[in-house]
Amino acid sequence: MRTGLIAEKLGMSSGFNEKGERVPVTLLKVEDCQVVAHRTVERDGYSALVVGAKNAKLHRVSKPMRTVFAKAKLEPKARLREFRITDDAYIEVGSSLTPELFRAGQLVDVCGTSVGKGFAGAMKRHNFGGLEASHGVSVSHRSHGSTGGCQDPGRVFKNKKMAGHLGAERVTIQNLQVFAVDATTGVIVIKGAIPGSKGSTVYVTDAIKKTIAV
């Protein structure tokens, strides 16, 4: 199990595969991505790499974190993330991580924060069918209907699907295919859509369920 990369979502575009078919792609920018520290079994109880990305101004970093970056002899980073690894996948502190960590055609998992959509009804949030358009139904066509019995048990169960806040939560999309890698510009092109808005931070790792695309 290897480390992953911290990237910035630039937006979506399209490309053409070997068959000449047009496919949607997402562009991810990898900038100033470096190994900041190690987590070892002897000291921390697990194996991981602390990875930082995008250089930050010194006054925007807390004093304890300045010590961490000074120890690693690195510029302060705006984003930090731990990636679990196996004991044979350690990389020296200070090493730069580039998009070439991944190759075109391999499968990856991408984690990000989905776009916040505020308060949403049950039809939009949970794909409910809604009530009928006629036959006595008025005003409440898009309501979620009954939520609990009036006798036994006479209450609403926990985790009942109802209207509420939608989006702005951590989402991982698995088994996305790397469409292309451009080491010159530091861009990874991922086939399909990923969670998050333009400019948001995402984390790219090797797919844990599959190794090659079908």
Q: How far apart are CA 113 and CA 95, in angstroms?
A: 27
Look up the pTM and report it.
Answer: 0.88
Question: How do residues 30-89 score in pLDDT, each as one tens digit?
Answer: 999 999 999 999 999 999 999 999 999 999 999 999 999 999 999 999 999 999 999 989
Question: How do residues 111-155 score in pLDDT, each as one tens digit?
Answer: 999 999 999 999 999 999 999 998 999 999 999 988 888 888 889
Q: How far apart are CA 130 and CA 120, in angstroms?
A: 14
Phi (first) and psi of residue 119, to 5 degrees: -75, 125
And the tokens for 144? 């979620």
And the tokens for 139? 């005003």
Q: List the domain boundaries for the chain.
A: 5-117+165-206
Question: How do residues 31-45 score in pLDDT, each as one tens digit?
Answer: 999 999 999 999 999
Given a contact cutoff of 8 angstroms between Cβ atoms, the answer to whether 200 and 112 are in contact is yes
State which fold the 5-117+165-206 domain adopts: Elongation Factor Tu (Ef-tu); domain 3 (2.40.30)
